Amino acid sequence: MDWHVLMFLHMIGTVALGFYLVLPFVLSKAEKLSSAAKEGTLSAIGGFNRFAQYGLVIQLLTGGYMMTKKDDLSVPWMIIVTLLLLAMFALAGIMGKPLRLAANGMKENRDVTSETGKIRTLSALLAVLLLVMLFFMVFNEII
């Protein structure tokens, strides 16, 4: 496969992951919304989370292939980047359940404070992991 096509696909995956950078800010503004608007917002966040998870799969496939073809990457760097990606997979997957529970709770007029708290925490962790990942992508010669 042409290196430029692979890099393009990798950047498409990166753009999809950008959702995790804006998610904490979206959630902070969602607290001020009406009940119906919160329900719609949580439902949309669930869909975007799924979309970003597809971005993670693209990152795994394209990044994994590119790591096998480049000789100048250190093994510790590859391990760190892979662990960061797996942690993002895990947190994004874990966030799916509170998103579903919160959206259903809003439909049933239940208190969803615990679910939204989990979502806020997981989204902040995902944003931090993505920033750390970007740091290692840009400064890959550090390790």
Dihedral in degrees, nearest 10, Cα atoms 99, 103, 108, 110: 50
Q: Which domain holds residue 110?
A: 3-138
Q: How far is CA 26 from CA 10, 51, 70, 74, 84, in A?
A: 25, 16, 37, 37, 23
Residue 34: pLDDT over 90: no
Residue 128 lies in a domain: yes
Residue 71 lies in a domain: yes
Tokens representing 41? 């917002």
Residue 24 lies in a domain: yes
CB 41 within 8 A of CB 33: yes
Number of domains in the chain: 1
Stated as kind and residue range, the H or E segment containing 14 is: helix 3-17
Q: How far is CA 114 from the centre of its chain?
A: 21
- Domain with 20 in it: what CATH number? 1.20.120
Residue 143 lies in a domain: no
Residue 48's nearest CA partner among 20, 25, 73, 28 is 20
Q: How far is CA 41 from the centre of its chain?
A: 17
Residue 13: pLDDT over 90: yes
Residue 1: pLDDT over 80: no
DSSP state of 140: T
Residues ≥6 apart with Cβ < 8 Å to 11: none
Residue 90 lies in a domain: yes
DSSP state of 110: -
- Digit-coded pLDDT (tens) for 76-113: 999 999 999 999 999 999 999 999 999 899 889 898 99
Specify the amino acid at residue 12: I
Residue 33: pLDDT over 90: no
Report the predicted TM-score, pTM, of the whole model to 2 decimal places: 0.91
Residue 17 lies in a domain: yes
